[in-house]
Amino acid sequence: MPGRAIVVGAVGLLTAVLAWGLFIALPRWVALPPPAVEPPVESNAPAAPERKIKARLFFVSDDGHGLTGVERDVAFGADPTAQARAILEAQLTSPEPPLLSAIPSGTTLRAVFVANGDAYVDVSSEIVSGHPGGTLSESLTIYTLVAAVKANLPAVGGVQILVNGKEVDTLAGHIDLRQPLVTSPTWVQ
Amino acid sequence: MEGLIIRDPPRTAVTARRVARPIAWFATVGLVLAVSLMVRLLGQGQTSLTLLSRDTRRALPLAVVNDQELVSLDELAAVFQLTVREEAGAVTVSSRGRTVIFNPEQTIASVAGRMISLPTRPARIAGRLWVPVDFISRALAPIADTRIDLRRASHLLIVGDLRVPRVTMTSEPQPVGHRLIVEITPSTTSTLTREADHLTLKFDADAIDATIPGVPPQGFLQAIRRMDPVTLAIDLGPRFGSYRSSTQAVDNVTRLSLDLLPLPSDGPSVSTGSATAGAPGAAASSAPGFAATPPAGSTVPTPPADLPTFGQPTSPIRTVTIDPGHGGPDLGVQGSGGLTEKTLTLAVGRRVKTLLETRLGLRVLMTRDDDRELPPEARTAVANNNKTDLFISLHANASFRPSNTGASVFVAQFPDEGLARRVLEPHRVPVFGGGIRDIELVPWSLAQIRYIDQSTVLADLLQGRIGATAPLDVRPTDRALLRILASANMPAVLIELGYLSSPEQEARLGNSEFQSSIAGAIVDAVVDFRDYLGRAPEGER
C-alpha cells in the first residue's frame, strides 16, 4: 500500500511540474524582452543627412477659388507608399502664414496604401467634423489631398479618400467620394 | 323690547376694506394679465391640429415656442391611449408593450430601441409636458398599431386608413374666361355639379386636405369655399356663362382643368365655335376617376358631339422637385452671425415652391419640408420616383477666404464621362419570337449624364436671372462631382445661394426680401427653361 501511495504521489508531482512548465514557465520564457541594446557610442562625426525630395504641396490660392502648388523639402520614402505617406504628412502639417491650408486643423493621416494603381488615403474624422462645408471648401479640401499625391507620384492612377478607415459618400454633403479621383484643373491652378 | 340697533361699522373694518380693495384690484388685473399671457403663448400662429379618424374630427391645441409647434403629451396620451410615466428625469410613453423614452431636456428620443431626433426640446407649460409636433410622426407612428399620417402643412393628423387626398388649386386668367386647375393627389374620383350660383366639386374620399387659394377679382369666379369635409363650392361671378372641364391622370395625380367661360354677349367669343356651347356639366372627361353631372332642369344648349381638345398643349415641365440642402443634425455651413445653411435653404425652397405653384401652376415636391436629415440617394429618389421634370438643389457656400461672395450654379460632372456615356449606350438583346431589340439600362449612379446638356442650359439661364438680382461668384457656373446630382434622371442643378462664410453676405441671405427676390429669379429661370424646351426640337429635349 505505501508503495502504491508513493507512485501516485510521484505521478501527481510530475504532472504538476509538467503543467507549470507548459503553462507558466514556457510562455514567460518565450515572451522575454529582447536583450537591452547597447547605447550608441558617442561620436563627434556629423550624422548622415536625412534624404529629402522636392515635393509640390497645395494651399488655398489668394483669390480663394483654387489651389496653388508650393515646392517643399519632404522626407524620402523607400517605396511609393512610404513616399506618399511622407508627402501627405507634410501636406497635413499646418503651414506658416500667409499660406492657408484647405485641410481642417487636427486632421491626421491614419494610413496610405497603393492597390491596383490607385492610392487610398485614410485620414482621421476631423476632416469631416472640422469642415466648414460648402461646395467650394469641400472641393479644395479633397483636391488638396488628390493633387498632393498625383502631382508628386504621377504613376498613381487615382486617389480615394477614406475617413477612419471607411469609404464615405462625401465629406460635407457635396463631392462624390465613392471612387478614386484624379486632379481637376478646375481647382488646381 | 330691544329695538333694532344700527351701528356704524367699527373703525378696524373700514380700514380693512380700504386695504382689501386695492389688493383685489391688483389681483384681478394680475389674473387678467396672466390669462392673456397664457392665451398669447398658446395662441401664436396656427392654434390647433385637426385630428381626423373614422369616428371623430376634433382639434388638438398647439403651442408655439421658439417658432416650433408643440402639442400636449396629455392630449396625445388620451387620443392614442398611451401610458405616460415620468421617473428620474426620463419620460416613458408606452403603447401595447412598445415604448418611447426621452429626456425633456434633450432633443433625442429612443423609439422601440432606435434613436430619433426631435426639432426642439419638449417644454413644460402650466405644469404639463408639451412635445414637438414631429414627435407624432417620428416617435408615436412607429409604435402605434394604427396608421398615423401627420400633414404639417395643412395641420392635419390622420389616424387610421382614411382616404384624405391633397387638393391644391390655382386659378389663372385666360384670353377668354378664367381657368381653375385642381390637382388631387393621390388620384381620386370627383363629381362636378352645377347649382344655381355655384359649382360643387365632391370628392370620393373620407375628407380632403385642401389648400384654398385667394381669388383675384375677375367676374367669373368669386370664391372657393368648403361646404363639407368632402365638398368644395366654387362661387360663380356675374360674367360666368358656362363652363367646360377636362381631366388628366398623370402618375398618381388627377389634374382637373375647369374653364369658366363668359356669357355670349360678354367680351370676345370663344374662337372654337363648338366650345362656346360647352354646357354646364357636359364636359365630362373620358379620363378615369372623374364624372360630371348635368344640372337638373338646365336649359343650356346640348353639348356638341365632338368636344374640342381642352387646355394648353402638354407643358415640357409639369413637376419640379426642390431639394433644400442639409437638415437635422447636418447644419451645413454656419455663418458667424448664426444663420445655418439648412435654415436658409428651407426658407428659400418654400418660397420657390409657393411661386412655382401659384405663378405657374406646377406640381412641386420638396425633398424635405421640415428640419430633418436625408441621405443623398433619398433626395434624388423623390425626384426619380415621381418622374419629376426638374431637380433643383439649394445650398449655401463657404470659402476659406472670407472675402469670397456671390451665388453660383453647379452642374454634375463624372470622373470619366466617356466611359459613363459608353455604359449608357443601348444594349442589343434578342427578344422572344426572334429579332433584336435595343434596351437602355441606366445605372442609378450615372442617370444624370444623359441630361448634362440640358442641365447646363438651365444653369446658364439661372445665372442670368439670379445675376439680375444678386451678386454672382467669380465662377458663376461650374461643374463638380456632385453626389446629389449624379443620380437625378432629369435636368438637375445645384444652386449655391451665396457665401455664409462672408458676414456681409450672411446678413443679406438672412433677409426675407432678398430670399424672395432670389426665389423669384429661380422661378423666372424655370419659365425660361420651359420656353427653351418648348422651342427645342423633340430630339433635343
Residue B187: inside a domain, yes or no? Answer: yes
Give the model's pLDDT for residue A33: 45
Residues B199 and B131 in one domain: no
Domain extent for B339: 319-540
Q: Residue B182, Cα to own-chain centre: how many angstroms? A: 15
- Measured between alpha carbons, how far is B522 from B53 in angstroms, rounded to an integer? 40
Q: Is B99 helix (H, G, I), strand (E, B) or coil?
A: strand
Topology of domain A52-167 in CATH is GMP Synthetase; Chain A, domain 3 (3.30.300)
Q: Do B381 and B502 fall within a single domain?
A: yes
The closest CB to that of B397, out of A136, A170, A181, belongs to: A136
Q: What is the mean pLDDT of residues B332-344?
A: 96
Give residue-wise pLDDT tens across range B98-113: 889 999 888 888 888 8
- pLDDT at position B116: 85
Between residues B241 and B346, which one has the greater pLDDT? B346
User: What is the residue-wise DSSP string for chain A?
Assistant: -HHHHHHHHHHHHHHHHHHHIIIIIHHHHHTPPPPPPPPPPP--SPPPPPPEEEEEEEEE-TTSSSEEEEEEEEE--SSHHHHHHHHHHHHHSPPPTT---SSPTT--EEEEEEETTEEEEEE-THHHHT---SHHHHHHHHHHHHHHHHHH-TT---EEEEETTEE-S-SSSSB--SS-B---TTTB-
| More confident site: B344 or B12 | B344
- Tell me, what DSSP letter sits at residue B334? B
Distance CA B129, CA B120 (A): 13
Q: Which three cell numbers stand for residue B111?
A: 423609439
- Residue B50 CA, chain-centre distance (Å), reads 17
CB contact under 8 A, A65 and B397: no
Residues B445 and B477 in one domain: yes
Domain end among B92, B127, B159: B159
Contacts of B410 in chain A (CB under 8 A): 135
DSSP B161: S
Contacts of B482 in chain A (CB under 8 A): 135, 174-176
Look at residue B328 in the predicted model and tell me its pLDDT: 94
Tell me whether B509 touches chain A (CB under 8 Å): no
Residues B333 and B482 reside in one and the same domain:
yes
Check whether B120 has a pLDDT greater than 60. yes
**Same domain? B180 vs B131:** no
pLDDT above 90: residue A19? no
**Distance (Å, whole) CA A57 – CA A186:** 17
Cell of residue A108, nine digits? 491626421
Position A152 scores a pLDDT of: 92
Pull the grid cell for residue B123: 417644454
pLDDT at B10 over 70: no
Q: Determine, for residues B330 and A169 on separate chains, whether the beta-carbon distance falls below 8 Å.
A: no
Q: pLDDT tens digit string along B30-45?
A: 555 554 444 444 444 4
C-alpha cell at A24: 507558466
**Between the ranges A35-44, B169-178, B443-452, B469-478, where is the mean pLDDT highest?**
B469-478
Q: How far apart are CA B315 and CA B286, in angstroms?
A: 20
Question: What pLDDT is attached to residue B65?
Answer: 84
**Of residues A76 and B309, which shows the higher confidence score?**
A76
Q: Percent of chain B having pLDDT more than 70?
A: 78
- Using a CB-CB cut-off of 8 Å, the residues of chain B touching A179 are 415
- What is the CATH classification number for the domain harbouring B244? 2.60.40
Q: Is the pLDDT of residue A26 over 80?
A: no
Query: Residue B462 sits in a domain of what CATH number?
Result: 3.40.630.40
B393 and B518 in a single domain? The answer is yes
**Range with lowest mean pLDDT among B118-132, B337-351, B462-476:** B118-132
Name the phi and psi angles at B420, rounded to 5. Answer: -60, -40
Q: For helices B452-467 and B512-535, what crossing angle results, to 10°?
A: 140
Nearest-Cα distance to chain B for A127, in Å, is 14
Note whether residue B173 is domain-resident: yes
B195 in a domain, yes or no?
Answer: yes
B409 touches chain A (CB under 8 A): no
Contact B499 A186 (CB under 8 A): no
Give the bridge partners for B182, in sequence order. B169, B256
Same-domain pairing of B149 and B276: no
Residue B346 has pLDDT above 70, yes or no: yes
Number of domains in chain B: 3
CA-to-CA distance for B136 and B134, rounded, in angstroms?
5
Establish if B181 belongs to a structural domain: yes
Among the three residues B159, B176, B208, which one is the final residue of a domain in this structure? B159
Spatial separation of the C-alpha atoms in residues A23 and B100, rounded to whole Å: 52
Q: What is the DSSP string of B291-304?
A: EEEPPTT--SPPPP
Given a cut of 80, whether residue B281 has pLDDT beyond it is no
**Any idea which residue has 381626423 for its cell?**
B52
**Which has the higher per-residue pLDDT, B464 or B222?**
B464
**Whole-angstrom distance, CA of residue A84 vs CA of residue B151:** 54
Q: Is the ipTM of this complex over 0.85?
A: no
Mean pLDDT of B309-320: 68
Q: Which residue has the higher pLDDT, B28 or B175?
A: B175
What are the Cα distances from residue B213, in Å, to A54, B217, B264?
69, 13, 28
pLDDT > 90 fraction of chain A, expressed in percent and rounded = 61
Q: Do B288 and B333 reside in the same domain of the chain?
A: no
Q: Is residue B151 less than 8 Å (CB to CB) from chain A?
A: no
Nearest CA in chain B to A142: B481
Contact residues, chain A, for B397 at CB < 8 Å: 134-137
Whole-number Å distance between alpha carbons of A83 and A71: 15
Q: What percent of chain B has pLDDT over 90?
A: 34
Q: How is the beta sheet containing B472-480 ordered, strand by strand?
A: B363-366, B319-324, B390-397, B492-499, B407-412, B472-480
Strand-pairing partners, residue B97, are none
Choose the closest CB to B395 out of A63, A100, A135: A135
B285 and B187 both lie in a single domain? yes
Question: Residue B491 has what pLDDT?
Answer: 97
Assess if residue B326 is contained within a domain. yes
pLDDT mean across residues, chain B: 80
Neighbours of B149 (CB within 10 A): 17
Alpha-carbon distance of B272 to B21, in angstroms, equals: 82
Which of the residue ranges B64-78, B433-447, B513-527 would you say has the lowest mean pLDDT?
A: B433-447
